[in-house]
Amino acid sequence: MQSNSETERANPMDTDRIFQLIDNILPFEACLYYEVLPLSINGSRLLLGMVDLEDTAALDYVRRLLGYMKCSLVPKQIDATTHRSVLTSYLNHTHSSAEQKASVSPPKPEAKHPSPPMAGGSSTHRGQSAVVLNRLGQLVNKPSPPPKPPTLPQPPKLPPPHPDAEVPVLEISAAHLDSPLEVLASLPPKQLLQELLGRVLTGGIGRLYFERQAEYGRILWSQDGVVQSVLDRLDLSLFQSVINELKRLTHLPLLPVEKPRQIEIERRYQGADLLLRLRVMPSDHGEDATLQVLRGAALKFYQQQQLVTLSRDALRLAQQLQRKVDELHKQAGNHPKLLEDQPLEALPALDQLLKQVDRQLDVLRHLETKD
């Protein structure tokens, strides 16, 4: 009988298929929290990779989700190393395909179904929002800015890091959390968004889905893996105005999108860090949108992967710089009289830049050793 690792080598995982299933069937946060992976789907049967086949909470959560989708479950054991490797590859894949060099964090394709609460949540609150999206799209990457001239201004001194002061606080004023849906439908767009945010921020990772029909709009939100409520048959002007309020919150242009756009902003809410991920997509009748709130262990894992990616990028660029300086050194050594006739204008700025980088590395080393 083959061992689990031998079986996996004989039948290598189709990571592209797994990534699609994470996007459309079982979201990243649930995969991370419950240590599961959607390996393949055949008709209405999902092959589910599990680190622990005896994890009844994971089985219950996924069965509840798949029951909502009219899908059955076939568990298969995988090892923890494979599980984490695939999730890391998923994040690297989404970063490389949808990197956005802006003032916000790089976007990542969003899972489109229920997601479990993470840090600090009890097992009775595992599971989150359930929204099914059938549209996939790529982000529009902005072109890189033109290179700066070689003579750089002297870099300023780095201020000490104060992460808490840099992250804006998300202010929510929800006065109708216990009111019937009819009350919400009568609210103006800005207040309606406040009420919706108040609901998805009650715990764990929440999600809102905005679906536009030909004659009306619909807004869904969910918690603990099941849809909690649906605002149906909303006037289209109110529906679009709420989406526009979300665009304002995340600093997206108010013009209708022509291609799927995704943006993320960091906020603090009730003393906890969270990430708001808005995805807006063109549809047959206008715009659809999803809003996901990422926090706890899922947010921590995502941020760790960002640091890993940034550190690798920094190392790659540093190696490129070293090769260029080596070329410069050899060229100057072969033709020393050229420097006597015309000194290198970029050398002082380069020296200052390297000193600033060294100061930044000192800060990073200090943060690594800090308790």
Check which CATH number belongs to the domain holding 39 and give it: 3.30.300.160
pLDDT at position 157, please? 47
pLDDT at position 37, please? 94
pLDDT in 10s for each residue of the chain, 371 residues: 444 444 444 356 889 999 988 887 788 878 887 889 999 988 888 899 999 998 888 888 888 777 766 778 899 999 988 998 898 888 777 655 544 433 344 444 444 444 443 333 333 333 333 233 222 223 233 333 433 433 434 444 444 444 445 789 999 988 888 888 889 999 999 999 999 999 888 765 578 989 999 999 999 887 655 567 889 999 999 999 999 999 999 999 999 999 999 999 999 999 989 999 999 999 989 999 999 888 887 788 778 888 888 999 999 999 999 999 999 889 888 888 777 777 888 888 898 999 999 999 999 988 888 75
User: Are 364 and 321 part of one and the same domain?
Assistant: yes
- Torsion, CA 335, CA 340, CA 342, CA 344, rounded to 10: 80
Q: 297-300, long-range: CB within 8 Å, 24+ apart, which pairs?
A: 297/32, 297/33, 297/118, 297/119, 298/28, 298/29, 298/32, 298/33, 298/115, 298/118, 298/205, 299/118, 299/273, 299/274, 299/275, 300/118, 300/119
Q: Which helix (H) or strand (E) holds 360?
A: helix 346-369
In a domain, 131, yes or no: no
Final residue of a structural domain among 296, 311, 337? 296
pLDDT at position 221, please? 84
To the question of pTM greater than 0.75 for the whole model, the response is: no
In a domain, 58, yes or no: yes
State how far Cα 351 lies from the chain centre. Answer: 36
* Structural domain for 256, as ranges: 163-296
In a domain, 120, yes or no: no
CA distance 298 to 111: 12
In a domain, 151, yes or no: no
Domain count along the chain = 3
CA distance 31 to 13: 16
Final residue of a structural domain among 296, 326, 350? 296
In terms of phi and psi (left: phi > 0; alpha: psi -120 to 50; beta: otherwise), the region of 31 is alpha
CA distance 274 to 298: 10
**Token pair for 73:** 């479950």
User: Are 316 and 285 part of one and the same domain?
Assistant: no
The secondary structure of 134-186 as a DSSP string is: -------PPPPPPPPPSSPPPPPPPPPP-HHHHSPB-----S-TTS-HHHHHT
Grouping H, G, I as helix, E, B as strand and the rest as coil, residue 355 is helix
User: Are 168 and 253 part of one and the same domain?
Assistant: yes
pLDDT at position 27, please? 80
DSSP state letter for 124: G
User: Are 171 and 288 part of one and the same domain?
Assistant: yes
User: Are 221 and 268 part of one and the same domain?
Assistant: yes
User: Are 234 and 187 part of one and the same domain?
Assistant: yes
Distance in angstroms between the alpha carbons of the first and the last residue of the chain = 48
Grouping H, G, I as helix, E, B as strand and the rest as coil, residue 194 is helix
